[in-house]
Amino acid sequence: MKTKNLSSLLFLVTAAAVAAPDGASDKQLQIYPKNLARQNSGANLFLYNPATQSYAPTEAAAAWLDDDVATGWPAQVGQHYYMVSLPEAQLLTNFGLLAKSGAGTVNLYAGDEAAPPSSKAWTLVGRDIPLATLNGSKLGKPFSRFAKYFLIETNLSESGPLYSLYLYGEKPEVDYTLEKRSQSVDTHAVFGSYVNNQVAFNQSGLYTKARVTYSNGGAGFVDWQKLIADSPDGMVSVAPSTTEAGVAIKFDGTPAIQRISVLTDPAAKGKLDFYLVNAATATTTTGGPSVADKTPTASIVLNGSGPANSVDFAAVAAGSLLVRWTPDDGTQSLGLRQIDSFDDISLADYQLTGSPEAIAQSGGGGAADESKDMADAKDQKNVEPVAELLPSRVPFVPGGLGDPALLPSNIPTFGSNNNRPGPTPTPPPPLSP
């Protein structure tokens, strides 16, 4: 009798975990901050031109600031300055990046104006950070600086595809809402030519109200959300399976998914199968959603060549995404960091806004009181990575899109050099790792 009751209890606990109601843990999920280095947050990216002593739009913006972990663009070798422009000044606390390869160091600065790199207007927040230390992680020693601009000085001897920048403040992902604009905007008039409109919004993201409802790895519901939080250092171990999924993600509604991108252990070898279904019900004895007698919508073969991979396919409207891992050796678990899903939603027609609760509770004035540096920049050498996410408070989320004041009067277009020196710019396509 006791064994039967225990089995029933375990079944109920597992079922409850799989069927965790939307919003039930949103307060707990505020530990996952929104990545502000995204065009969907209004950020833009510029490269400093020492010849003209000015900042200019760069092809890297379309890859580094979109929401797709599998689109990349290499940083230039040598000493260069990339500036992230935010729509308004806010408290910044941490930074990270994700690249396939590269060697060199990075210096980080925060400031209130788009000043030349030599200007004293910049505050040093990270010095001589090895790229290998920063890659796939965040700063081990967070900083605290109220700023509108963030300057990244790269001193690289080697450079490979760089997939994403990560810049964090106090804004939780779950306090954002995806909404249709009342009127479409010309994103090129705001960001310049370098915008990946179709991969600006991740439908399997915390801010789009998706939730990981099941995983055969990780410690529980909150830990599972690392798979869809926009962070370089979260990872869940997914065990191999045959008739059931190792991961289940529930979308908000039924988006027409047409592209899936993943970030994994770069050395992994095996196959990821993706099933887009209307519902992810737990029907197996172990509690995982069944994929028996289902045909994968798409698959990605991992060959150990890099961390970022993607697959495109004909659009499928679905309420859930199931993921199954089959390793080449039959037993090896997969270190899975990120799963992105994209439909045809464009940055021109949709925007992210803050929840009414976030605006009402902001109170105002608090961020300015925290504008002083918490750490001496002299102590930022050899920063170690950190795997823990920062706690955050409910913020005010501003409106606006980008920083048009920084853009040239003639916005360059693909296929035109716009009187700029160097080769004719071309659209940055998704770069296969």
**For position 192, what pLDDT does the model report?**
85
Is the CA virtual torsion 327, 333, 337, 339 positive or negative?
Answer: positive
Is residue 207 in a domain? yes
Is residue 422 in a domain? no
Is residue 81 in a domain? yes
**For position 402, what pLDDT does the model report?**
55
Q: Supply the CATH number for residue 97's domain.
A: 2.60.120.260
Mention every residue, 6+ apart, whose C-beta is less than 8 A from residue 50.
Answer: none
Residue 172 has phi, psi (to 5 degrees) of -70, 145
User: Do 122 and 68 share a structural domain?
Assistant: yes
> Is 313 exposed, middle or buried, given 0-12, 13-18 or 19+ CB atoms closer than 10 A?
middle
- Amino acid present at 113: E
Tell me the C-alpha distance between 320 and 116, whole Å.
47
**For position 232, what pLDDT does the model report?**
87
Could you tell me the pTM of the whole model?
A: 0.79
Output Rg (C-alpha) for the chain, integer angstroms: 22
Asked if 247 and 323 count as a contact pair (C-beta separation under 8 A), the reply is yes
Is residue 136 in a domain? yes
**For position 433, what pLDDT does the model report?**
40
Is residue 180 in a domain? no
Domain that holds residue 90: 39-175+368-406
User: Do 139 and 22 share a structural domain?
Assistant: no
Total H helices, total E strands in the chain: 7, 22
User: Which among 325, 342, 359 is the end of a domain?
Assistant: 342
Of 319, 322, 318, 316, the C-alpha closest to 248 is: 322
Mention every residue, 6+ apart, whose C-beta is less than 8 A from residue 221.
Answer: 17, 20, 25, 212
User: Do 18 and 45 share a structural domain?
Assistant: no
User: Do 157 and 50 share a structural domain?
Assistant: yes
**For position 387, what pLDDT does the model report?**
26
**How many residues in total does the chain contain?**
433
**For position 233, what pLDDT does the model report?**
86
The model's pLDDT over 106-143, given as tens digits with 9 standing for 90+, comes to 999 999 999 999 999 999 999 999 999 999 999 989 99
User: Do 155 and 275 share a structural domain?
Assistant: no
User: Do 211 and 164 share a structural domain?
Assistant: no
H-type helices in 295-380, by residue range?
Answer: 356-360, 366-369
**For position 399, what pLDDT does the model report?**
34
Mention every residue, 6+ apart, whose C-beta is less than 8 A from residue 433.
Answer: 70, 72, 100, 161, 305, 306, 307, 308, 309
User: Do 157 and 89 share a structural domain?
Assistant: yes
Q: What angle (nearest 5°) sits at the alpha carbon of residue 219, between those of residues 20 and 27?
A: 50
User: Do 320 and 253 share a structural domain?
Assistant: yes
Of 311, 319, 248, the C-alpha closest to 279 is: 319
**For position 207, what pLDDT does the model report?**
95
Is residue 256 in a domain? yes
Q: What is the mean pLDDT of each run of 10 residues along the chain (433 residues)?
A: 38 39 70 95 94 92 94 95 95 95 96 94 96 92 95 96 95 93 90 88 96 88 94 91 95 96 94 91 66 95 92 96 94 94 93 58 33 33 29 30 51 28 36 40
Number of structural domains (the chain) is 2
User: Do 145 and 93 share a structural domain?
Assistant: yes
Is residue 414 in a domain? no
Asked if 125 and 169 count as a contact pair (C-beta separation under 8 A), the reply is no
User: Do 171 and 48 share a structural domain?
Assistant: yes
User: Do 318 and 235 share a structural domain?
Assistant: yes
User: Do 163 and 91 share a structural domain?
Assistant: yes
Is residue 332 in a domain? yes
